[in-house]
Amino acid sequence: MLTYDNYAGRERPTGGTYGTSGSASVFVNGSDFTARNLTIENSFVESSVDVQNKQAVALNVRVDRHQFINVRFLGNQDTLLTNGGTQYFYQCYIEGDVDFIFGGSRAVFEESVIHSLDRGSSSNNGYITAASTMITEPFGYLFLNSKLTSDAAAGTVWLGRPWHPGGNPDAIASVLFMNTEMGAHINPIGWTDMSGFLAKDAIFAEYQNYGPGAVITDTRPQLTDEEAAEWTIEKVLKGWNPKGE
């Protein structure tokens, strides 16, 4: 286990605060990195301090061709920051509550468990994704053959919302859930707005999901077979095939 307990509002010894991206327990800033069979955790306890900025990142990863195989990511708000480049998560476990998979990377999450923590609310127990995919990118996050779990109340967790860092209007967000089992905790509306930016202006979509949370409504766009065929692992990852097939 790789673990630490920084958080965004903690003061740095050299002045200022760590901020969200600086709060990570682990940073990966080079290409062609692989991690297997371990846990990456931010162990910060939100109730331990009385500050406003309690974001606490477990992993901050950027650049290209990173593989995480059978890795657990543990945290609360902002657990996993995919901070650009391409990442592949296979048979991983990712846990958190608010925006706990976020950033501008093109990333694939295959055969993974995405677990939303129960914040004890009867109406809103958080958001799985907060993608900031640039409008120039044809793909963002792909969740493939995965499972969304939670002990939270039914209908209280959102699939995601669009994060526009610094108010950048071009960071529109792109997320697709494909062939994924969704628990009853998923809100039937699916997606929601963020900081004045509308979910309907993002690229939020689903394809052949199942389970009690996989309802089809006017607010949850479904891809056609032809559209879904474009979302291959290799295309999402800019031509990289991590399986080497």
Instruction: Find out whether 50 and 72 touch, Cβ atoms under 8 Å.
Output: no
Token readout for 92 is: 């991983």
* pLDDT given at position 157: 98
| CA within 13 Å, CB half, 160 | 33
Mean of pLDDT values over 55-82: 98
The model's pTM is 0.98
Return the residue matching tokens 């910060």: 44
Separation CA 78–CA 128 (nearest Å): 9
If phi > 0 it is left, if psi is from -120 to 50 it is alpha, else beta; for residue 76 that is alpha
| pLDDT cut 90: percent of the chain above it | 98
* pLDDT given at position 243: 86
The one-letter amino acid code at 171 reads: A
Question: Does domain 2-236 fall into CATH 2.160.20.10?
Answer: yes
Q: Which of 2, 76, 77 is nearest to 35 (CA)?
A: 2
Does the pLDDT of residue 58 top 90, yes or no? Answer: yes
In angstroms, the Cα distances linking 153 to 106, 213, 215 are: 31, 12, 16
* pLDDT given at position 245: 58
pLDDT tens per residue across span 110-120: 999 999 999 99
* pLDDT given at position 154: 98
Does the pLDDT of residue 7 top 90, yes or no? Answer: yes
Mean of pLDDT values over 78-98: 98
Confidence category of residue 244, pLDDT binned at 50, 70, 90:
confident
Mean of pLDDT values over 215-238: 97
Mean of pLDDT values over 24-49: 97
pLDDT tens per residue across span 91-147: 999 999 999 999 999 999 999 999 999 999 999 999 999 999 999 999 999 999 999
Instruction: Find out whether 101 and 67 touch, Cβ atoms under 8 Å.
Output: no
Give residue 244's Cα distance to chain centre.
Answer: 25
Q: Which residues are catalytic?
A: 78, 99
Domain ranges of the chain: 2-236
Mean of pLDDT values over 197-210: 98
Mean of pLDDT values over 156-184: 98
Q: What is the mean pLDDT of the chain?
A: 97
In angstroms, the Cα distances linking 66 to 7, 27, 130, 164 are: 24, 12, 20, 24
Separation CA 168–CA 136 (nearest Å): 13
